[in-house]
Amino acid sequence: MFRLLQRSAGIVAALFASSVGQAQLISRPVPPADAVERGKKQFVIQCGGCHGADARGDDNGPDLVRSVIVLDDEQGSLIGPVLRKGFPNEGMPAFDLSDAQIQDLAAFLRERTQAAINRNAYPLQSLLTGDAKAGAAFFNGAGRCNTCHSATGDLAGLASRFQPAQLQTRFLYPRGGRGGAPPKPTTATVTPRTGPAVSGTLEFIDDFAVGLRDGEGYYRSFPRDAVKVDIQDPLAAHAQLLKQYTDKNMHDVLAYLVTLK
C-alpha cells in the first residue's frame, strides 16, 4: 500500500537521523487510542500484506516506521495524497479513503514511530525472555565465556549493579566499559622492514596507516604497506561471539547474567 512512502521524491529512510527530530516527534501529542486502534485494524487489512502488521515492513514492502513522510505527516496531510494517488507502476494502487480513514491510519503510524523512538517507554521486561539455565550452559560451554570470566569472581554481583538493558549492552558491546572498570586497551606490535619492533597501545589503524602510543607515551605512526602489524585485542573473543550468537543465545545469556546478584 505505502510502497513509495520511502522512495518518492528521493526520500531516504532517516527517522533516527537527528536527536532534534526525535525530540520533536516524542513531544507531539500522542494520538487518541481509539483512532490508533481503528487505524491499526484498517492497516492490517489494507497494508499489512506488504508492510507487516506492525508497519515494520517485510520482503514485499519497506519499513514505514522509518519513513520521513510518515515522520513529517500531520493527521494525514502527507500520507493522504500518496494513498489517493497510488503508484500502480510500483505495485501500489490508489485507495478511495475518506478523510476520517486517512486520519486513523496516520494516527496508527504516528503511534508506531513514537513507540519506536521513545526508548524510555520500552518495556525492559521484554528483554527477559530467555532461559537462565540454558544461558549458564552456553556461558560455561559453547560460548567459552568462563575461560575469561567467573560468576563468583569478576561477575559476582553484576546484576545488582546494572539493569537488564545495561547488562545486554555490556556483554554484547563491552568496549565502552560504562558503569564499571574500563576494558584493557588493545595493544599492537609494529615491525618495520628494517629496524626494531615497536609496541604500545593501538590508537589508530586503517588500510593505509597504523598509529600507537609507545611505553614512553609518544605517538608513533607507520604506513601499513611498510610494516607487519600484530594486534592483541583483549575483547577479540567478544567480537567473534557476535558472529556466532543466535537470538536464543543472547536472550539466554542475559537471563543468566540477571541471576548474578
Kindly list the domain boundaries of the chain, sorted by start residue: 8-121, 126-182+237-257, 187-233
- Tens digit of pLDDT for each residue in 41-79? 988 888 877 887 888 876 677 778 777 888 888 888 888
8-121: CATH topology: Cytochrome Bc1 Complex; Chain D, domain 2 (1.10.760)
**How many angstroms separate the CA atoms of 165 and 8, rounded?**
37
C-alpha 259 chain-centroid distance: 25
Distance CA 8, CA 70 (A): 12
pTM of the predicted model as reported, rounded to 2 decimal places: 0.46
pLDDT digits (tens, 9 = 90+) for 2-35: 444 444 333 333 433 444 444 445 456 778 889 9
Q: How far apart are CA 123 and CA 65, in angstroms?
A: 19
**Can you list the positions of beta strands (E) in 128-195?**
187-192
Q: Which amino acid is at 6?
A: Q
